[in-house]
Structure formats: structure tokens, C-alpha cells
Amino acid sequence: MTDTWQYRGHKLRQIEWGLWRDTCHRNRYLLCYRPRGKHGPVVRRWATTNTEFTLDTLKSHVRQVHAAAQQAKLGIEPTGPVAIDPQTALDRYIAALRQRGRNTQYIDTNKGRIDRFLAWAIDNDEPLESLDQITVAQADRFLQHLQTKKRGAATRNQYRTLLIIWLNWCVSRNLLAANPLTRLETIAEHRKLIQYPMPDELVTICRQLDRYDAQLATFLTLTGLRRGSLISLRPDSFRSDGILVPWVKPGGEWFLKFDAGCPLWRPDVSDLGRAIWQAEPPTLNSLRPRLKAIRQAAGTGLGFHGFRHAFASWLAMMAEPLEDIAAWLGHASPNTTRTHYAHLRPHGRANIESNRRKVFTSRSQLMAICLGENKKGLA
């Protein structure tokens, strides 16, 4: 099935498995599922929601049908949640991943991390005889154990997400009545893990650097490019209407358009890029001493990726939409942008205007440092 579907003149949009919404008629839905498996007959029924028959009721019905179909595939009688030990559930989950064509590294990573959780439970005299014995408190203790093993917040969140996905799969197959770990809170990453300079801080840093290092720092901040993309650029990449960025992987490229709505992308960025490439085209070896000089000037563990964080944080301070920032950064999902930068968004119109003035003033000062006093008036 696709996301949209035409059925007897009705334009439908899929909500979830087996449930479609009629986009032309309010509160009207179509049930389309195969209760006897892949080769069974397709059953189509119209349903209209009201105060008594809600959308949640309809979703619950469709999920029960889906669970019964999955139980039939596994040879399980549909008599309610099946009491099954976690290792057997894990083996079935891994088999399902292989059937879906997942690569070996992904499967091994999933299996290894869930096995680590089950082994930790045995080592702490909390052996799990069935899935319904897994609790939120137990998962919290496991994540705290990972912290004692010096696992960072990002790694612990990966473990947390993987456990939730695994148990959700068990719920969808009626191997578990409900997933208790949906109440497991996300681990907040420490802000020091993401080093990025504010506008006035970057101006102070660039004034301590030589011209070339200041140009590199400013160029990365105003474009949001990664170091790999920076190295892949060529002298002919800098154009009047944007910057042509080759992909790190062959077979594609990305055009950074100055008219894409990003307030930091302006034609003078191409002038800055040409100045860098005329002096010395960056390479991986040449960037290492540059990074050392930048860190000494900043006085922190600031790296080249920190300037990409600065690009996103400045835009968040200016109240740019997070979806647009994610598109300008090339994030696969706006959730990544929302996790790291949503807290920087200002409250109130006055704060937005103040932040915009700070960013534009710092931008003009940076361009003056990099390209000379004749560029100082640019904003």
C-alpha cells in the first residue's frame, strides 16, 4: 500500500495498517486488511466515527485484527498475550529483521544490545522468565549501569530506544499485553557535549586567529557544512547564486542556494570561499594544525563540527522554523534538530528582534575580519 490511494472515486490517506481516512468526507474511514494472511481475501468496510464510535475505538479494532494475523503467521492461537521468555522473543525479532532484509551489522547491533540487557538482569539476580516481568525501574537501573561504564547520554538513549522498539514489536505480535517502557524518559544530554560559540564569542575567537583560520571558522559557521563537505569543495563550486557541494559518497551533489530562505546564506559567502581556496585548499592534513590553533583561541574543546552546531543554534535563536533548519543542515528528521536546538528558541517578539540584531552584527564583524574593512557594511 502507498500513503494515498483511490478507491471507487474516494481519495484515501493511510493512517496505519489497515486503516484509511477519506480526505473528502469528514469522520469517514475505510478498513482494508487481510485477516487470513498475505494471500487471504481483502475485506473493505466503511466506518463513520461519532461521539460513541471514536477513532481510538477503530484503531483498537484494526490493531486486534493485525495482531491476530501476525499470530496466525507464527502459529499461535489468538487467545490473548502469549507468555513467552525474552530470549525466544528476541530470536523471533531477529528473524523478522532478517526477513525484512536488514543488513548484518544492524542485526548484530540490535541483538548484542538486547542480549546485554538480558545478561545484566541475570547478573543482578533479576532473571526474566517472561516479557511481562520487564519494568521501567529495571530499565532505569540498566541505563544507570551503562553510565557507570562511562557510556554517554547518546549511547544510553540508543539502548533505551532499541528496548522500546523491541517491546513494541512484541506488543504488535501479541506476545506482550502492553509496553511498559513507553514511560521511560529520554536521557538529557549534557550541554557541554555540544560545544558551539555564540555570535559575540565567535567574533572574539576570530580576532585572535590569523586571517586564514578566521576565514575557515566563519565559512563553516555561515554555511553549516561538515568538515568532509568542506574538503570536497572545488574552486568552481563557488557561484554567485550558491555553492555546489559534492556528496561525500559519489553519484550526487547538493546545491546550497542563497535564495533558499536561510538568513546566513548570502553571496558574500562565495567570496569568502574563493579567498580560502586561493590561499590554500583545505585538506584533512592541513586542517589538523588549524583545529589546534582554533582550540587554543577558544579555550575549550571546540572542534570543526562545533561551527555546524553554531550555524543551527544561531538560526534557532532567530526563531527560524526547526523544519527549515533541519533542511538546511541536511538532517534526516526534524526531531534531531528539535532535540538539540529547541531550547534556544526565544520567547517573545522583542527577544527575536534582539537576537537577530546580534547575529547580523556579528556576521558583519566576521566578514570584516575575513575579507577586509570594505565588507564591514554587509549584513
Is pLDDT of 176 > 60? Answer: yes
Q: What is the spatial distance between Cα 37 and Cα 81, in angstroms, rounded to a whole number?
A: 19
From 293, 239, 247, 300, select the one nearest 270 (Cα to Cα): 239
Residue-wise pLDDT tens digits, 223-282: 988 888 888 888 889 998 899 888 655 556 778 889 888 999 999 999 999 999 999 898
Is pLDDT of 286 > 80? Answer: yes
Cβ neighbour number for residue 93 with a 10 Å cutoff: 20
Mean pLDDT throughout 96-120?
88
> 8 with 20: CB under 8 angstroms?
no
Q: What is the spatial distance between Cα 211 and Cα 77, in angstroms, rounded to a whole number?
A: 73
Q: Do domains 86-189 and 199-375 have the same CATH topology?
A: no
Q: What is the largest CA-CA distance in the chain?
A: 79
Q: What is the spatial distance between Cα 362 and Cα 355, in angstroms, rounded to a whole number?
A: 11
Of 143 and 66, which is predicted with more confidence?
143
Domain boundaries, the chain: 4-74, 86-189, 199-375
The predicted pLDDT at position 373 comes to 55
Residue-wise pLDDT tens digits, 119-154: 998 888 777 888 888 888 899 999 989 988 888 777
The predicted pLDDT at position 379 comes to 36
Phi/psi at 89 (nearest 5 deg)? -65, -40
Topology of domain 199-375 in CATH is hpI Integrase; Chain A (1.10.443)
Topology of domain 86-189 in CATH is DNA polymerase; domain 1 (1.10.150)
From 205, 232, 206, 131, select the one nearest 174 (Cα to Cα): 131
Helix (H, G, I), strand (E, B) or coil at 34: coil
Is pLDDT of 38 > 90? Answer: no
Of 82 and 122, which is predicted with more confidence?
122
